[in-house]
Amino acid sequence: MKKFFLLLFAAAAFAACNDDDGEPKIRYATINDGIVNGLMQGINMHFYGTATVTEEQQNSTYTDNEAYFEFAGGPENFSLYMHKTRFAANMPPLEMKIPHTAYTGDGNSIAFSEVSIVPEVNLPNSTGGGYSYQPMPAYTLTEVEGSIDGVNCRVSFICNVPKLGTYRMEYEGKLIIKE
């Protein structure tokens, strides 16, 4: 009987220690060494947060609580990758990129603003085989603004999609440690 209780205790202890439920674990950063003296250091910065999209004509709102943005760049400009981004629940997720965006910085922060920019979407190559980022003028973004302040990121823009509507996207995320 003693062995049975010992075995039961060991099994319970093992189960309590095993918190792997198959879901990816997100670890948030407490410092951001990707920006020093207002300049990006060439380290890709990954942010996880919430994107809220409002369709202006129908006044409907879609919220993505798992929005994943990535900044890649250096001392002059960056590209913003919006992974699996969607403007509505029934929209297929797209890999979008805002390419070559200039910024200003100070300390551990940067800010950027563009009146209008044509994003790129990762689409199948026309020659067959593979994918590449291609300009998507139909998804032109306007009133693009954003900032990274330490570990916090904010991005907003308007996307007027012909025949579908005008969408205002507002994103807030925190820097994650990519493993």
In order of start, what are the domains of the chain with their CATH numbers?
A: 28-176 (2.40.160)
DSSP-derived 3-state class of residue 138: helix
Phi, psi at residue 107, to the nearest 5°?
60, -120
Per-residue pLDDT of the chain (179 residues; tens, 9 = 90+): 444 333 333 333 334 444 455 556 889 999 999 999 999 999 999 999 999 999 888 888 999 999 999 999 999 999 999 999 988 888 889 899 999 999 999 999 999 999 999 999 999 887 777 899 999 998 899 999 999 999 999 999 999 888 788 999 999 999 999 77
Asked if residue 93 lies in contact with residue 82, where contact means CB atoms within 8 angstroms, the answer is no
Give the global pTM.
0.83
pLDDT of residue 21: 55
Separation in Å, CA 132 to CA 42, 46, 72, 94, 125: 22, 21, 17, 12, 6
Residues 6 or more apart whose Cβ sits within 8 Å of residue 75: 39, 40
pLDDT of residue 31: 95
Separation in Å, CA 30 to CA 33, 96, 142, 152, 154: 10, 27, 32, 10, 17
Rounded distance, CA 67 to CA 64, Å? Answer: 6
pLDDT of residue 23: 57
Asked if residue 83 lies in contact with residue 62, where contact means CB atoms within 8 angstroms, the answer is no
Rounded distance, CA 135 to CA 126, Å? Answer: 13
